Copies of this chain bind each other. A is one copy, B any other.
Amino acid sequence: MRNIDVCPTPELLHLYNLQNTVVVVVDILRATSCITVALAHGVARLIPVATLEECRKLQEAGYLAAAERDAKKAEGFDLDNSPFSYMDPGLEGKTIAITTTNGTLAITQSREAVKVIIGSFLNLSAVTNHLLEQSYDVLVVCAGWKGKVNLEDTLFAGAVVEALQHDFSINQDTALIAKILYQVGKKDLVAFLATSSHVGRLHRMGIHQDVNFCLQKDKFDVIPVLRGHALVKL
């Protein structure tokens, strides 16, 4: 039987075996939600990079560039990390270089896997249906917050574990913990997440809309997948 496991933060990724594994990277607030929105709205490709320097070089080479640090847009870049910024029809067909505090690092660190796809509540069923149809083990890699575990990414991991639990084995407690949390919180994700640290951080910055948007399930049927250095539609 295939295995489903959860890595709760990229800091622990070295403990997991990526061979024969499809990785789902999740950074609900807000990188992987933005990437899902962008590809659903006609952006051609996103190039995730770990550092501001790499992102600036790609900007200088002519790409649009999105950069977030500490939940704010980094100075001198074109786009921030709000899902609403990626709905602009002017972005259709464009390539966007993107770097965020946690999410893009999780993507670049997962490259060794058989395949890296991008998950968010916005494309949850598209992702889980795809995982059920393929033959590899699955590892959900949570972006977390600066190395630490966060609630919203763990919850998404739990949603994936719940959807896959009858077809995959759960051998590790992190997957079990994620599933239990999701079963407690799934009826009202907004209320359940109201006390989490990053939701608090975003609320203090006045970004309620972003949080509520990113917690909606199955708004889009797209699956972003890493091909070479770029995220494109599967």
Q: Within 8 Å of chain B (Cβ to Cβ): is A109?
A: no
Binds B, one of A83-91, A133-141, A168-176: A168-176
Contact B173 A197 (CB under 8 A): yes
Name the distance in Å between A104's Cβ and chain B's nearest Cβ.
19
Contact B173 A15 (CB under 8 A): no
Copies per complex of this chain: 2
Q: Within 8 Å of chain B (Cβ to Cβ): is A151?
A: yes
Q: Within 8 Å of chain B (Cβ to Cβ): is A8?
A: yes
Q: Number of A interface residues, CB 8 Å?
A: 26
Q: Once the chains are docked, how many angstroms separate the CA of A45 from the CA of B173?
A: 33
Contact B15 A12 (CB under 8 A): no
Q: Within 8 Å of chain B (Cβ to Cβ): is A148?
A: yes
Which listed residue, B145, B150, B180, touches A181 by the CB 8 Å rule? Answer: B180
Query: 9 closest Cβ contacts across the A-B interface?
Result: A151-B173, A150-B173, A15-B147, A149-B174, A173-B197, A173-B196, A172-B197, A15-B148, A11-B12
